[in-house]
């Protein structure tokens, strides 16, 4: 209905009711509940009709009075036009701006947009010029709208926040008599997804996750193998370092016990045995501490390790009345990264072995320890003023298992171990490792 204030009502021979209102004349079809409205655009002299000003004569001709005069017509003379108007899409906009296109939008079968162009609109028209303002429209974006949207005389449709995908925009139009073009016009809309929603990116992401899971699995396997090697190494260290000492302690303790029970036993022999027991006990305590230190996860830098080496060398040289000279770079000149447990273990045991060898076999009175770091390489030099490499003690010192163990540790550090006569006398042991 054009208006809720009905001034007059007349029935025609077809069962329609003609209603005079303040906004035009309306034909109501009670069976299907539809209205067809007539205004000054259809030829009325006024849209406002008067109460009581209506009449139908014997021939069925109707008269309605309103402002400016009266109108007369026969309902059968106002037959609906059967013309089906063509429908065309005339404009396409993105963010309220016309999108540059290679041809008229009505000549295209599809439009391609990026995922960022998700606010767009269409303009359309039904090509019937009898009363263009009364043409009707309905539209639907398939894949977005669930049903057709009745737009009345509005000739545009807007959409916002449309997800990437494929859509079809369809529009239907009707002429001023309500005759619809059901086929209407249509155009396909393709909105490309962002790269992270494309199939190839998802495939790469899936492959990456798979590799990450495999890498984590390999890491755990390596970690377990490393723990197994650590367990084996600790067991070997305990066997080699501790078990032998404890066996000797037990043996010497039994000897002392037997001699104590024997009348007239020599106190001097017992004292030597007890001294040996004390020494072995101290060595065992030191070995246990070193094993615990080797597996301690506490981080340690090159500087920290060199300080530990210095403390060991100071105590060892003091016990042997040997002069120690220690040259160490400032902490700021050394890398601050932490050594791995394997690196610090091999460095510590190699340097400890080299110091002990120098103190026991060189026959010297002074020991010099130097440390340099250049271009990612750590160089540690141990120089004594002993008898040199031709001496009898040094022949024992640099042969057999001891030297092999030192070279093996140097290889584990991806470095090199050199032993040569020093120009000023004595022997030089030089370790170079990339750390």
Let me know whether 263 and 210 are in one domain: yes
Let me know whether 166 and 246 are in one domain: no
Residue 357 in this model has a pLDDT that exceeds 80:
yes
Let me know whether 255 and 210 are in one domain: yes
At residue 22, the pLDDT reads 94
Residues whose CB is less than 8 angstroms from the CB of residue 180 and which lie 6 or more positions away in sequence, other chains included: 84, 136, 172, 173, 174
The per-residue pLDDT for range 7-61, each reduced to its tens digit, is 999 999 999 999 999 999 999 999 989 898 888 888 899 999 999 999 999 999 9
- What is the pTM assigned to this prediction? 0.45
Residue 200 in this model has a pLDDT that exceeds 90:
no
Let me know whether 346 and 403 are in one domain: yes
Let me know whether 288 and 303 are in one domain: no
Let me know whether 416 and 379 are in one domain: yes
Let me know whether 173 and 235 are in one domain: no
Residue where one domain finishes, among candidates 77, 104, 123: 77
Alpha-carbon dihedral of residues 351, 355, 358, 360, nearest 10 degrees? -130
Range of the domain at 177: 87-195
Let me know whether 218 and 303 are in one domain: no
Within-domain flag for 82: no
Within-domain flag for 51: yes
Number of domains in the chain: 4
Q: What is the separation of C-alpha 416 from the centre of its chain, rounded to a whole number of angstroms?
A: 42
Residue 17 — φ and ψ, nearest 5°? Answer: -110, 130
CATH code of residue 421: 3.30.565.10
Within-domain flag for 391: yes
Let me know whether 282 and 215 are in one domain: yes
Residue 289 — φ and ψ, nearest 5°? Answer: -60, -40
d(CA 15, CA 25): 16
Residue 239 in this model has a pLDDT that exceeds 60:
no
Question: Shortest CA distance to 380 belongs to which of 279, 310, 319, 276?
Answer: 310
At residue 249, the pLDDT reads 65
At residue 370, the pLDDT reads 92
Is residue 76 a contact partner of residue 117, using CB atoms and an 8 Å limit?
A: no
The per-residue pLDDT for range 93-117, each reduced to its tens digit, is 999 999 999 999 999 999 999 999 9
Residue where one domain finishes, among candidates 195, 211, 235: 195
Let me know whether 414 and 337 are in one domain: yes
Residue 295 — φ and ψ, nearest 5°? Answer: -100, 0
Within-domain flag for 1: no
pLDDT confidence bin for 297, thresholds 50/70/90? low
Let me know whether 312 and 391 are in one domain: yes
């Amino acid at each position: 209905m054009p208006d809720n204030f009905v001034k007059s009502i007349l029935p025609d021979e077809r069962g329609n009711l003609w209603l005079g209102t303040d906004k035009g004349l309306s034909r109501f079809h009670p069976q299907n509940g539809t209205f067809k409205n007539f205004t000054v655009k259809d030829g009325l002299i006024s849209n406002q009709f008067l109460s009581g000003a209506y009449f139908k004569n014997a021939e069925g001709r109707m008269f309605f009075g309103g402002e400016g005069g009266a109108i007369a017509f026969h309902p059968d003379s106002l037959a609906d036009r059967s013309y089906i108007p063509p429908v065309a899409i005339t404009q396409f906009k993105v963010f309220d701006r016309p999108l540059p296109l290679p041809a008229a939008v009505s000549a295209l079968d599809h439009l391609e947009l990026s995922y960022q162009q998700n606010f767009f609109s269409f303009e359309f028209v039904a090509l019937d010029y009898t009363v263009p303002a009364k043409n009707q429209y309905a539209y639907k974006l398939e894949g977005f709208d669930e049903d057709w949207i009745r737009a009345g005389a509005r000739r545009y449709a807007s959409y916002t926040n449309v997800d990437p995908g494929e859509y079809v925009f369809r529009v239907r139009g009707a002429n001023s008599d309500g005759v619809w073009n059901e086929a209407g016009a249509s155009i396909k809309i393709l909105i490309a997804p962002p790269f992270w929603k494309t199939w190839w990116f998802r495939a790469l992401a899936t492959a990456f996750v798979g590799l990450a899971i495999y890498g984590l699995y390999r890491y755990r396997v390596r970690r377990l193998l490393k723990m197994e090697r650590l367990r084996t190494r600790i067991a070997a260290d305990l066997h080699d370092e501790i078990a032998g000492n404890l066996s000797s302690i037990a043996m010497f303790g039994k000897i002392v016990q037997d001699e104590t029970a024997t009348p007239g036993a020599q106190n001097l022999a017992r004292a030597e045995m007890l001294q040996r027991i004390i020494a072995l006990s101290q060595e065992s305590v030191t070995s246990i501490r070193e094993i615990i230190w080797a597996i301690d996860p506490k981080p340690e830098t090159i500087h920290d390790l060199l300080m530990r080496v210095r403390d060991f060398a100071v105590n060892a040289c003091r016990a042997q009345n040997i002069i120690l000279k220690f040259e160490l770079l400032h902490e700021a000149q050394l890398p601050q990264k932490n050594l791995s447990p394997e690196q610090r273990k091999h460095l510590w045991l190699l340097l400890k072995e080299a110091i002990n060898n120098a103190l026991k076999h060189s026959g010297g009175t002074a020991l010099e320890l130097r440390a340099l770091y250049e271009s990612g390489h750590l160089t540690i030099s141990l120089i004594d003023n002993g008898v040199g490499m031709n001496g009898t003690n040094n022949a024992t010192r640099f042969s057999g298992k001891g030297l092999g163990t030192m070279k093996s540790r140097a290889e584990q550090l991806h470095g090199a171990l050199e032993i040569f006569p020093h120009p000023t006398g004595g022997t030089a042991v030089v370790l170079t490792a990339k750390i």
